[in-house]
Amino acid sequence: MSYSCAFKFSIALLTLDVCCKQTQAEDWPQFLGTNRNGISGETSLVDTFPASGPAIRWRVPGGVGMSAVVVQGDHAVTTWNAGGKQWLVSLNTATGKEEWKTELGQAYKNPMGDGPRATPTIAAKSVYVYTGDGILAAVDFGTGKIRWRKDVMEELPAQPSEYGMSCSPLVIDDRVIVHAGAADAAVVAFSASDGKLLWKSGEGHAGYSSPVAMDIAGAAQVVSFTGTAVMGIDPKNGKNLWSYPFETDYGCNTASPVWIDGGVFISSGENHGSVLLDIEKKEGTYIVSERWKSLDSKSAMRNEWQTSIVIGDYLYGFDNVGAAGPVSHFSCIEAKTGKPVWQKLRFGKGNLVYADKKFWLTTIDGELVVAQADSKGFQELARASLVGKNRQTLSIANGYGYLRDDSEVLCIQLKK
């Protein structure tokens, strides 16, 4: 079976598996969940909770950082600064008790916030982690023992992004793919088994986004949104198949690319805006065109760091007003046209995931907001303050939600 066919077959099986388990729980093994799109297949979750908030299963001390929590089985894994070091930490999902803790390097510090940024990825009995200063490591999922460790910045060489390396590793078969930001390697792939450099692709600023596996124009591709462009890459060899320039101040392309109706949606804050691209292959050459674009201060969607979510024919996300301004609306637009549908004005900065026909919104002030996913308008179902200031999404796994800030990690009951 060819690589492309195998990729499509595996995606088909995954889709079938999710569909067949609509009433069952599932893990959250990587950034934005199983399919890296912020959507969980879980159902039978609570619709509301009292003013005191949802039932808390456990709350334990943590550390400083922007990594979300990933979950597989009875392990909940995240990264943080503590005691002058960066750590990868595994907690027991039932109790919050620390199972193992692995040192990754010196504590990462940055004027825009300390601690590692990227969310780890669990795949094939390993955890792959990328630190704020560009250390990529593979760690045994069961024991925390380091299998291999690479200083990506030193090997290429490259300089860390101004606000820290933020790319959550993407694992496809035997390849671990991250943004690097070298002059001849914006994106790189390493062997999942031993850390050997396999390929380089693109050039220039790494940006702050994370790559996504997509089927584009009938081919399995890695779609990477770097600091200067979005590009489609052959995961086998790193060949750059197509690209579309999208430069922002300081390379602040942070939200992940989103698949919409066969096309690729990208969005940035700083009043930059968004665009939906169509990619066609004609006579062996990929051709990129704009299905719609909405740019500058009047844009319909300006994702500052939050990745928007597609539900049916609609795209939902955070629209940030101004150059990193304090005002953010929660917005709904028509995914295929970019036409605005509604806005919850001045909702505030936050993140979103989707499960059980509801949005689970975490605000920068530490609240969890549950809202009905409805193209007719915003309908808030519940709200509670759970943690301090944070930029993490809620991770939904096996009937529970996992959230953290710069001092604690907590697990809340979401199943009815």
284-305: pLDDT as tens digits: 999 999 999 999 988 999 999 9
Pair 150, 135: CB distance under 8 Å: yes
Domain that holds residue 84: 3-413
Instruction: Say if residues 184 and 200 touch (Cβ distance below 8 Å).
Output: yes
Number of domains in the chain: 1
Task: Please report the pLDDT score of residue 3 as a whole number.
Answer: 43
pLDDT digit string, tens, across residues 28-85 = 999 999 999 999 999 999 999 998 899 999 999 999 999 999 999 999 999 999 999 9
Question: Mapping DSSP to helix (H, G, I), strand (E, B) and coil, where does residue 111 land?
Answer: coil
| Contact present, 273 and 265 (Cβ < 8 Å) | no
3-state secondary structure of 32: coil
pTM of the model: 0.93
* CA max distance for the chain: 61
Would you state the torsion angle of the CA atoms of residues 32, 227, 317, 310, taken in this order, to the nearest 10 degrees? -60
Asked whether the predicted pLDDT for residue 8 surpasses 50, the reply is no
Question: Helix, strand or coil for residue 250?
Answer: helix
Output the DSSP codes for 153-183. Answer: HHHTT----TT---PPPEEETTEEEEEEEET
Tens digits of per-residue pLDDT, 198-218?
999 999 999 999 999 999 999
| pLDDT beyond 60 at 348 | yes
- Four-CA torsion 16, 314, 213, 271, nearest 10 degrees: -160
Strand partners, 20: none
Query: Could you tell me the CA-to-CA distances from 245 to 48, 229, 266, 396, 405 in Å, in that order?
Result: 43, 4, 11, 34, 34
Q: Which CATH number does the domain housing residue 235 bear?
A: 2.130.10.10
pLDDT band at 249, cuts 50/70/90?
confident
Reference 156, options 178, 131, 138, 123; nearest CA is 178
Which pLDDT band, with edges at 50, 70 and 90, does 9 fall under?
very low
- d(CA 181, CA 387) in angstroms, rounded, equals 33
